[in-house]
Structure 1
């Protein structure tokens, strides 16, 4: 039963990734059909992101009241209906309207499933789940491209993705009773794989404290902000940097950026196996150091060939960070508060993805894209610094708790 539900969650993560890359792949054709301005896609993206941030913030209260299974079912249903709405939308106004439930549904699913897996399954599943998200994000443009290149309309691409989502909705409907059973049977230790010297306080004894005021939460949010800032900035501006600064062709630059995404996907697959032998904390630190090393390679005035190595190294470094930080949430802050804090983390993550890459674009419009590697180094260094400060804070809490117990 536990394994069957895990398969459903894996499918949900693939479906979560499918719509994420559809708009970018379809917009060149959609723009012509609607006679819209190029920047309209940015407005639609911001609308989706806004809905995602809002639903992530309130997910803790909603899931506490209705349960992860029901919220996931309703959220995927909202996503499926929104994608179907894209298929039928007669104007940009209707696209904007459909973008709202698309964002709201995605945020609730993301926050809910991440916390459910963090509290009920082992660390390797979190890494593999986010690897499967990458599979979905990669399949979305492929499905859309097959319809566009085949002479069919982009609308059919959205229709197919919508049908896939509706199929998952039906599966979720019939598996709703499983969520509570698996949760009740789960005996996963929140500090699994953590030595006694590293054991983290769980804050379970804190009754009335607001989750945002728990020590270390703000440092964790800063780490998530800069992680997503790095990941999204690399994806959005990496190709432009290679073309405008390194002098590569657009085709070569695109292939090198795809190597960066491949590094993240493959890295998360490998990370799932490594979690059997080491802790989340070790993987987070190692990934940040590797990513910083790759960013320094991009920063140094080396031949263009080193840029490819830099992109791949950064991708491999980023691979374990996000899923491992998510899986650490119940261990760091307690299972009681983890769902609300998970929602905060996802909201901050989407905020970083939405707003930090345009910040570099704004700087580049006035200065130069040569600042791209500088921003990447600063973002990774800030993420590493906040993460290490959080580790030190948690260690001090353990020492204080140990002393008070001994007394």
Structure 2
């Protein structure tokens, strides 16, 4: 029964990933139809992410009141309805209106399911949970690319909405399982949390614990970089590499495919490698992939670069989340986790529009330079954090 519910949770995370890259992939057709400037895609994306931040901050109280299953089902219904609205939206203003429920629904699902899996299932399920998000994020551009061949981007949104409505039905039918499994498995994952820093941080406020503020910065730049590649990758390929819009969409889907495959493998590799080693390795691979975009290489290397960036990004986010209790102790891990998710959404809200603004003033060719900058900052701060935590451990040990 617990396995069956886990499958449903994975399906729900597929639905969370499906809409994530649709705006970026289809913007090359949407922009002229609505007569919108290039940077409007960034503002639209920022509106979605803003709704995600609001719902994630409110998710604790909402989930406590209505339960994880109900919140997940209703949130998926909101995103399905918003996507169906994109199909018929007459003006750019309506896209911004619909972006609000799209973001609110996505944030609630993300917060609810991450917390539920962390509480009721094993640690490696977290990597696989985010792997299934990657499946959705990979399928989204593939489905959209199919409809974009004929210029029918609106039908692409309708097809994704239809898939989401099917998942909504499954989620509502599964509601009785959530409470039953929760009662049987409560506290399983909490037994895995490390008490490494418990005695030294128990009486401190979370933000006063050494290293916490530093730990927030990689979340900002990771989510900003991941979202920026998904949002502007297609525009870079079309305008700089002269690819067709449908081929560019397919190549962006391979970026998400790299994230998906990488997170599936990470679920096994975590049994042999530490989270910190996987984070470092992922950042280096992403830097190599970005370097391919910066060099005057054949188109094949451009394709490889998107795959490498996706593979590099794969372990970073789930490993940073899983490392939280080991870094700062389980006493404050839930609060710190909330800070990290809020900062992560802030990165995905503001950094992609920043890239779009710079691109509008200069050229979309700035894309790989800014992605490289985000990754380098993330890498340097992560290494500084490791040194800080090692110093703390030595001082406390």
TM-score, normalised to structure 2, is 0.81
1:110 to partner: Cα distance: 0.8
Q: Which residue of 2 aligns with 1:359?
A: 354
Q: Which residue of 1 aligns with 2:323?
A: 328
Q: 1:329 to 1:63 in 2, by over 3 A?
A: farther
Deviates most, 382-391 or 79-88:
79-88
Deviates most, 243-252 or 373-382:
243-252
Q: 1:383 to 1:92 in 2, by over 3 A?
A: closer
1:334 to partner: Cα distance: 3.5
**SS class of match (2:18):** helix
Q: Say yes or no: does 1:102 pair with 2:102.
A: yes
CA distance in 2, matches of 1:215, 1:246: 45
Contact in 2 for aligned 1:52/1:108 (Cα 8 Å): yes
1:208 to partner: Cα distance: 6.7
CA distance in 1, matches of 2:101, 2:80: 9
**SS class of match (1:308):** helix
Deviates most, 9-18 or 351-360:
351-360
**SS class of match (2:186):** helix
1:50 to partner: Cα distance: 1.2
Q: 1:313 to 1:100 in 2, by over 3 A?
A: closer
CA distance in 2, matches of 1:267, 1:361: 28
Q: Which residue of 1 aligns with 2:171?
A: 169
Q: Which residue of 1 aligns with 2:308?
A: 313
Contact in 2 for aligned 1:68/1:179 (Cα 8 Å): no
**SS class of match (2:20):** helix
Gaps in structure 1 of 5+ consecutive residues: 192-198, 403-407
Gaps in structure 2 of 5+ consecutive residues: none
Contact in 1 for aligned 2:141/2:252 (Cα 8 Å): no
1:64 to partner: Cα distance: 5.8
1:274 to partner: Cα distance: 1.3
Contact in 1 for aligned 2:88/2:154 (Cα 8 Å): no
1:2 to partner: Cα distance: 3.3
Q: Say yes or no: does 1:228 pair with 2:223.
A: yes
Q: CA RMSD in A?
A: 3.7
Count residues with an aligned counterpart: 392
Q: 1:271 to 1:161 in 2, by over 3 A?
A: same
Q: 1:330 to 1:129 in 2, by over 3 A?
A: same
Q: Say yes or no: does 1:157 pair with 2:153.
A: no
Contact in 2 for aligned 1:85/1:98 (Cα 8 Å): yes
Contact in 2 for aligned 1:118/1:126 (Cα 8 Å): yes
**SS class of match (1:19):** coil
- Deviation string for 1:318-351 (max 9, x for gaps)? 1111121122223333444334333332332232
Contact in 1 for aligned 2:76/2:105 (Cα 8 Å): yes
Q: 1:62 to 1:300 in 2, by over 3 A?
A: same
Q: 1:294 to 1:88 in 2, by over 3 A?
A: closer
Q: 1:161 to 1:276 in 2, by over 3 A?
A: same
CA distance in 2, matches of 1:152, 1:238: 17
Q: Which residue of 2 aligns with 1:195?
A: none
**SS class of match (1:184):** coil
Contact in 1 for aligned 2:84/2:158 (Cα 8 Å): no
CA distance in 1, matches of 2:364, 2:280: 29
Q: Which residues of 2 match residues 38-77 of structure 1 at below 5 A?
A: 38=36, 43-63=43-63, 68-77=68-77
CA distance in 2, matches of 1:146, 1:373: 27
**SS class of match (2:170):** helix
1:107 to partner: Cα distance: 0.8
Q: Say yes or no: does 1:346 pair with 2:349.
A: no
State which of 197, 204, 220 in structure 2 corresponds to 1:201: 197
Q: 1:82 to 1:307 in 2, by over 3 A?
A: closer
CA distance in 2, matches of 1:308, 1:147: 22
TM-score, normalised to structure 1, is 0.80
Contact in 2 for aligned 1:256/1:311 (Cα 8 Å): yes
1:357 to partner: Cα distance: 2.4
CA distance in 2, matches of 1:257, 1:190: 36
